[in-house]
Each structure stands twice: as C-alpha cells, then as structure tokens.
A = this chain, B = another copy of it.
Amino acid sequence: MRGKLQRKVADPLDDDLLADFKVGVDNVIFSVDTEQNRLLVLLVMRHEDPYMGYWSLPGTLVRQGESLEDAAYRVLSEKIRVHNLYLEQLYTFGGPSRDPREAKDAYGVRYLSVSHFALVRFAEAELIADGVSGIAWYPLNRVPRLAFDHNEILNYGYQRLRNKLEYSPIAFDVLPETFTLGDLYQLYVTVLGEDFSDYSNFRARLLKLGFLEDTGVKTSRGAGRPASLYRFDAAAFEPCKDKPMVFI
C-alpha cells in the first residue's frame, strides 16, 4: 500500500500538467519629498526585451537558495543606498500570460511576481545609477504606462500605503529622523487628500497619543513662527501597537 501511494507522487501523467515557474520579485518603493510635498515611486528603465524602453518597477528573478525577501532586499540594494528601510510582502501576481516571455518559451515556463512594498527616506536614499540612464523617482501622478502588469501592482501598492498610513506608524519610515508636525500633516495630506482632517485636530490627536517626542529644537523655514522638531518614540508606541489608530 505504501508503494502504491508513493508511486502517485512520481506519476508522470500528473507531473506533466504542472506548470514550471520562474519567480520574480517586484518592488513598489515609495518615498516622499517633504520639500515639494510629492509622493514618489522608484522606477527603472528596462534595457532588455520584453518591454525594452519602458519604465518598470525594480525587480529581479529569485536565485537558487535565495528567499523571496532576500531577493527583494537585493534589488533594492542594487538600486539605492539607504539607511532606514521598511519592507513587506504585497501580493503575488501570477495569472498565465502576464509575461510575454511565457509565450516564447518552449516549455511554457510561467512567470510569477511576488510584489513587495517598501518605504525609504528621500533625503537618505542615494540612487545608484548603473551606467548613465534608467533610474528615477517619479511623482505618483506622472507615472507612465509601465512594463508588464506593473501599473496594476503599483496601484495595489498605493492602496496598501493609504491603508497603512491610517492604521500604523509607517509615516515615520518615510519622514526624516526629526520632523515638524507640519511635515507630518503634509505627508498625510499628499497621500490621503486634502480633506482627511483639520490640521489643529490632527496635531492635538497625535500629541495626545504620546509617542511624539519634542526635541526642543526649533526650525525656521521662511516666514512664520518656527516649528518644533519632533521624533518618533518607538518605545512609547509599543503599547499602542494593537490598538486601532485611525487618523481619518
């Protein structure tokens, strides 16, 4: 009986039906330019077919012995030198014929993309230009038609960004180490839209939560009363970790 069951595993009739996959990792890497209040996404120019000459999300195929997350970190570190970084898995796009290479391939190899979502601090992120061309921060509202199904992936990532911004402290992974409450507010406005909350109420609310530490340092950027620089106090946030934290 044992032999019979084991034979089932190796049954070539079953096995021939199965698809063989190459697995890619594509990263939706967001950042925010606090100076210009712009939400940015990192794109790279493709120099290879398919989709040569198109912009795309930075991605790579997963190597032997490499975890998905490792692959995601590898792409990222090939494109950016960065100190602080937030990264999590986003979604897996795997319908057949999402990659034209499938058609060419005699074996019918499928291409699957395990997309990831990343946040970096704009000021601390140094782009690594390999050659002259082909890597840039794009304002989200000016992103062109991308390679593959990358527009769809980007959209999914943007949704995740909006959700996480409301329910978790990822804002502090995008902002510099110290920031004004105005910076924080502007970040929420540029991502969520004008009318998500009154500035004054937003301030009161966040200060009450108790994990924003006033450094005492004041900034003066042009006209107006100078603002205090704040720092995110991760230790003080711990207790709030599981509580709902809705800013909207």
In the assembled complex, which residues on chain B have CB atoms less than 8 Å from the CB atom of A21?
Answer: 20-23, 62, 112
| Distance in angstroms between the alpha carbons of A9 and B47 in the assembled complex | 10
Contacts A/B (CB < 8 Å), 19 sampled: A5-B47, A5-B48, A6-B49, A9-B48, A17-B63, A18-B22, A18-B63, A18-B64, A19-B65, A21-B22, A23-B94, A23-B110, A23-B112, A62-B94, A62-B110, A68-B92, A92-B92, A166-B244, A244-B244
Known contacts: A94-B114, A248-B244. The answer to whether A19 contacts B89 by CB under 8 A is no
For window 111-146 of A, CB contacts with B under 8 Å fall at 112, 114
Say whether A61 faces chain B, with CB atoms less than 8 Å apart: yes
Instruction: Place the interface of chain A in its size category.
Output: 35 or more
Chain B: minimal CB distance from A14 (Å):
9
Chain B: minimal CB distance from A22 (Å):
6
Say whether A66 faces chain B, with CB atoms less than 8 Å apart: yes
Residue of B nearest to A8 (CB): B48
Say whether A108 faces chain B, with CB atoms less than 8 Å apart: yes
| Distance in angstroms between the alpha carbons of A248 and B167 in the assembled complex | 14
Say whether A52 faces chain B, with CB atoms less than 8 Å apart: yes
Do residues B89 and A92 form an inter-chain contact, with CB atoms below 8 A?
Answer: yes
Say whether A95 faces chain B, with CB atoms less than 8 Å apart: yes
Residue of B nearest to A1 (CB): B47
Do residues A19 and B63 form an inter-chain contact, with CB atoms below 8 A?
Answer: yes
In the assembled complex, which residues on chain B have CB atoms less than 8 Å from the CB atom of A5?
Answer: 47-49, 52
Say whether A91 faces chain B, with CB atoms less than 8 Å apart: yes
In the assembled complex, which residues on chain B have CB atoms less than 8 Å from the CB atom of A89?
Answer: 91-92
Residue of B nearest to A61 (CB): B18
Say whether A96 faces chain B, with CB atoms less than 8 Å apart: yes
| Distance in angstroms between the alpha carbons of A12 and B65 in the assembled complex | 18
Say whether A201 faces chain B, with CB atoms less than 8 Å apart: no
Residue of B nearest to A243 (CB): B248
Instruction: Known pairs A20-B20, A21-B23; list 4 more (Cβ under 8 Å).
Output: A5-B47, A18-B22, A64-B110, A66-B96
Say whether A235 faces chain B, with CB atoms less than 8 Å apart: no
Residue of B nearest to A18 (CB): B61
